[in-house]
Chain A
Amino acid sequence: MGLDIRVPLGVMFTILGFLLAGFGLFSDPAIYQRSLGIDVNLWWGLVLLLFGTLMLWLGWRAAHRTH
């Protein structure tokens, strides 16, 4: 109905991915002691980014098919 949910989904997760991965790159490594030494912000941020762009791509493709 009017709005393809993949677009807001894609935009939101792309933003969240950038935020998390960016924070992961520049944050003090000491805070990752609790996450067993893994920079979860960076890694999981990249996963979110990937998911976000995938959704955007799917939404973009669908929009171009119907037009």
Chain B
Amino acid sequence: MPGSQAAHRTGGGLLHPREIDWVIMGVYFVFVLGVGYTLRRYMKTSTDYFLSGRSIPAWVAGLAFLSANLGAQEVIGMAASGAKYGMATSHFYWVGAIPAMVFLAVFMMPFYYGSQARSVPEYLKLRFDEKTRGLNAISFATMTVFSSGVSMYAMGLLLNLLLGWDFDTSVWLSAAVVLIYILLGGLTSAIYNEVLQFFLIVFGFAPLVFLGLKDLGGWQGLSARLAQVATSQGFAPQAWSSTWSQMGDATSNPMGVEWFGVAMGLGFVLSFGYWCTDFLVVQRAMAAHSMSAARRTPLIAAVPKMLFPFLVIVPGMIAIASSLRAGASGFVLPHKADGTLNYDLSIPMMLSHYFPHGMLGLGLTALLASFMSGMAGNVTAFNTVWTYDIYQAYIHRNASDHHYLNMGRVATVFGIALSVAAASVANHFNNIMDMLQLLFAFVNAPLFATFLLGMFWKRATGHGAFSGLLAGTAAAALHHALTLPRGSVPGIKGGWLTLLHAYPSEMAQNFWTAIWAFSVCFGVTVAVSLITRPRPEKELVGLVYSLTPRVREADQAWYGRPAVLGASVLAATLILNLLFW
């Protein structure tokens, strides 16, 4: 993102939409609000509002599952990483997201959906105890508000730059739209709009990638140019166009990580922590109409997800490759105030370079859609956790269902207001993704150890889980306080106690923070569990793997069963890894 000085620019922007572009954006807004308006009369109970009455078909839940995560950090951040690190960014998908989504579907969903918990923190209460739920609920609520703020901040800066809109106006305007459609239609409205947004994003960006690749002479032409990018920075020619071939050593790839950090830090800890425990995504599956639909939700999402690198990472690679041939037909990424290239502008620059009026409107709509789906996902997760896990649990027990429904609406309003406030905090990192990964590392990385032990080890106790979570988060903070990415100054990037180790890059530091947090949480949970009294086994039926009857999928054809679907998804992902090795 450009520096904060850009926030005060007014007047003309980078793109100059015409009537047709505005009409296309207008059509989208009419439908977004129209869906909320149509759904308002179905919102009768708090279950309707927070869980869509558990009535959503699998394919809708699946696309929403994907779209809720498709906010600014995904679209802008992944393209930025594509420019900065090249094809290796797809590790976030092919090592990270997909295996985690399959694990969620096959192994974890039976407990989330089967326990009838209304949220992820509520599962923790059922499995462990009140304090573990409280800790998770509060940290999660804080994190969602912050993520939503980051999304808004990115959008405000971008709209200012692209359209010349005032920063505050665009933040408040988009906040108002999201507010209206969630107030009216709750989670269903968010999910339905996420489906619209999903298709808009695909239809808005696919032609961009097509034109960019065609312009550069296909994948071959792109790789040839990326080889120049790589060698000019002292890396092997294939450093930008391959996923694994340069991962043997942290110094031979622009990410500054080695295969172990990728596989353990990103693949195992961070991605499983996010996709398997983050209520933002899990909520979509919980809204599905049946257990089998809930289990298929992440698997349906995994299919488009494995192709998303071509939609969101390749544009960044095209942008950096294109910057090489300035003067010819290429375009150059603008520089930031500190002289580095502004990678976050990869997609906007491509929009302005390749799209004529008409398609420009569609591309801008896709961008707006991604910002809104990211924001709405956070807001619906926040209002549910706030209402069920904080308000109902600690502030006002035993009120009428109608009371909680109204509380959900109030929480939607102040959740959005808090995100607007959080937008101003999001000013420090030049790559949004790095900051979010850091946050997830602190909060989510230890969490996956808790769920893993909770679901698969019946001996794990509430005291163990609680102390493990605290220790894990403390370990993350401590690791961050003692290490620093090379070339950074101590402060928000780490090293604020003293400097014990310098990592080649911020990403390597984040991965290792996650690995430490997970390991400490795992170890402390096991140790404390062994010295505390376990809950009687009969209380844990439906919550722990070994005490729960296997879900029978007899009504499903063999090819529709989660294990078979999951294995196919993994096989396809493996092939993608090999193709782009």
Contact = CB atoms under 8 A, between A and B. Distances in A.
Interface of A: 1-3, 5, 8-9, 11-13, 15-16, 19-20, 23-24, 27, 31-32, 34-36, 38, 40-41, 44-45, 47-48, 51
A44 B20 contact: no
Given A2-B42, A16-B27, A31-B356, 10 more contacts: A3-B38, A3-B39, A5-B35, A5-B196, A12-B28, A20-B359, A27-B356, A34-B356, A35-B359, A41-B358
Interface in B305-327: none
Contacts of B195: 5, 9
Contacts of A51: 199, 203
Contacts of B215: 36
Contacts of A23: 20, 357-358
B31 A48 contact: no
B385 interface: no
Contacts of A36: 211, 214-215, 354
23 contacts: A1-B42, A2-B41, A5-B60, A12-B28, A16-B24, A19-B23, A19-B358, A20-B358, A23-B20, A34-B353, A34-B354, A35-B211, A35-B356, A36-B211, A36-B215, A38-B211, A40-B207, A40-B355, A40-B359, A41-B356, A44-B203, A44-B362, A47-B203
A11 B23 CA distance: 15
Contact of A12 (B23, B31, B188, B207): B31
Given A3-B35, A19-B23, A31-B356, A44 B207 contact: yes
B52 interface: yes
Contacts of B431: none
Contact of B196 (A8, A38, A41): A8
B192 interface: yes
Contacts of B28: 12
A58 B353 CA distance: 36
B56 interface: yes
A31 B358 CA distance: 10
4 nearest A-B pairs in the assembled complex, by CB-CB distance: A41-B358, A31-B356, A1-B55, A23-B358
Interface string B48-91: 10001101100010000000000000000000000000000000
A19 B20 contact: yes
Contact of A35 (B23, B31, B60, B355): B355
